[in-house]
Amino acid sequence: MRAIKILSAVGLTVAAMFALGPEAAERRLPEPVMEPPEASGGVLVVDLVDGSTPADLESIGALIETDLEWVHPLAEDEALASGEVASYAAAMAALAGHPLVEVVESEVMLEALGYPNDPMFERQWNMQAIGAPAAWSGSARGAGVVVAVVDTGVTRVEDLEGTSLLEGASFVPGVTSAADDQGHGTHVAGTIAQTTNNGLGVTGVAPDATILPVKVLSAQGFGSSAWIAAGIDYAVDEGASVINLSLGGGYSAVIHTAIKKARAQGVVVVAAAGNSGRRGVGYPGALEETIGVSAIGPDGSLAPYSSYGKGVDIAAPGGDKRRPNGGILQNTVDGRGGHHYAEYQGTSMATPHVAGAAAVLLSEGIPSEAAERILLRTAEGAGWNEQYGNGTLNLASALGLTATQHNLYRFLLGGLFALLITQLADTRVGFRLTTSAVASSVAGGVFFLASAPLPESVLTQLLIHPLLEWPGVVIGPGWMHFPLWLSAALPVGIGFTLGAFGPTRALAAGLACGVAAHLFHGAATGTLEPWWLPTAMATSWLAVNGALAIVIGMGLAGAQHIEERGGE
């Protein structure tokens, strides 16, 4: 009976941890209804089912009496094609319900959302406004996270010299390089990951992140829905964890499909709300699958140009150049073959603040869904409204929630598990207290030392971080989600080594309880995401292995009880 009561208490504690998981914000939008296409013709975009062959493409083209071509060689795996048709209505009617066609629509043109200018200033009010220095002062700087800038391209200007910048690709016809020929994309990339602490220029939100340039907008700042959709597909294929879409316009089903596929792969997609200055969020920012971003000025109020309404999820600094030094300053190309430090304003400038913040959380080992929830939950605001969404971006609070709340829960839960199993085994008080202390430390790490003046080193980071996060410290953030590491295999190994000897048995039992606490917490909050496993299976995996770790801890405590009784 005593054992049943204690195990019930453990079960209730775990259930409470699930209840503490952050709730996703309400972002339900109706599926957009496309207006009937006009009888006139133009470029038709056809998204065939993945794996379609050139022969399939030719047969579809024959049905609508045109030569369809893949949008780009890199878009062939996603079977995205386009071609000129005499009548949109006739072509779309001919392809309606065809088993090889996922989406068909007339080409939609989108544009960059921002207003460039070139005055320079000495400080970046926007970085202070979102609490970015909190990330720079610690280890959370976006390391190991690829952010795709789907825009006018990115050029390595002087203050991007120290930033990890991939080669990328261009989807603009006739342009082979992903270099920026307009300035917008490089400015956006700078806000995300401008080289920081280099004694030059300005800063970025996630300076250790890797930028993937994806050129989908021309030198004039416009881009076809086909180019943009192909660019999004490419970014996913290249391993981007975050996609920044500082562009907008009308609804495109092709772009929507590409974004859905990106989200299915766990990619965070951040998009601008638009610069209409009135109610009505542009696409793709209005989609449920994207984090829609409105813009604020230096005083924290909504910028006069910012769109607002359903679809806004969060607000971030976008600038207001009516005020002195009120724009967003970054290093970008100047259109004359050189570069300059220029203030831009727009929801385009607000969006990369959120993309950079997402990269920071992902670099801390937070899964994409949880990272999005944390950003929205910690935004400064009093509930959702149509101007600011869930509130204004606060990276410092997001990091605080990540590092303190989660670690504290694990810290306390691990100690509770240890006290329960050692009480059940009726071990001596000294063994109980030692086990509890070890369990608490390994569950949450000695996280309260994070603000202490300790030397910057791997050993310091191992001391601060929980045991299950150590692969993320030593190898890279993704490695802490390796399934066998997130299992009872580690407590089993500990049990057969440290648990085999009396002097280290309390340490082994504490480690098992600490691992159990982290596994249960990860299952409850979504902060642990084992590779290859879908969400429901991952939750079950973590919970079952957490229970096994508890059983191992109980076995170690029982062995200690037998040894103590044998010595009396």
Q: Cβ distance 351 to 127 under 8 Å?
A: no
Return all residues near 261 (Cβ < 8 A) that are at least 6 apart. Answer: 78, 232, 233, 236
Mark whether 348 is an active-site residue: yes
69-70: strand order across its sheet: 69-70, 80-85, 42-48, 101-106
Mark whether 224 is an active-site residue: no
Rounded Cα distance between 387 and 369, Å, is 23
**What pTM was estimated for this model as a whole?**
0.70
62: tokens are 């024959």
pLDDT confidence of residue 19: 39
Domains of the chain: 2-24+399-566 (no CATH), 42-107 (3.30.70), 111-389 (3.40.50.200)
Looking at 82, 159, 181, 184, which residue is catalytic? 184
| Maximum Cα interatomic distance, the chain, rounded to a whole number of Å | 96
pLDDT confidence of residue 345: 95
Q: How many CB atoms lie within 10 A of CB 379?
A: 24
Closest to 407 in 3D by CA, of 523, 547, 517: 517
Rounded Cα distance between 24 and 12, Å, is 23
The H or E element containing residue 106 is strand 101-106
pLDDT confidence of residue 534: 83
Q: Cβ distance 175 to 155 under 8 Å?
A: no
Instruction: Please list the rounded mean pLDDT of every run of 10 residues in the chain (568 residues).
Output: 45 42 35 49 92 92 92 90 92 92 90 42 75 72 93 95 95 96 96 86 91 96 96 97 96 97 96 96 97 96 96 97 90 88 95 97 85 92 92 90 75 90 89 88 76 78 85 77 92 94 91 93 80 86 95 92 76
Q: Cβ distance 245 to 269 under 8 Å?
A: yes
pLDDT confidence of residue 26: 32
Q: Cβ distance 213 to 185 under 8 Å?
A: yes
Rounded Cα distance between 564 and 427, Å, is 8
Alpha carbon separation from 22 to 242, 373, 374, 501, 522 (Å, rounded): 21, 7, 7, 41, 12
Looking at 170, 225, 348, 368, which residue is catalytic? 348
Q: Cβ distance 442 to 515 under 8 Å?
A: yes
pLDDT confidence of residue 274: 96
Looking at 52, 106, 151, 307, which residue is catalytic? 151
Rounded Cα distance between 517 and 537, Å, is 19
Phi and psi angles of residue 191, each rounded to the nearest 5 degrees, phi first: -60, -35
Mark whether 339 is an active-site residue: no
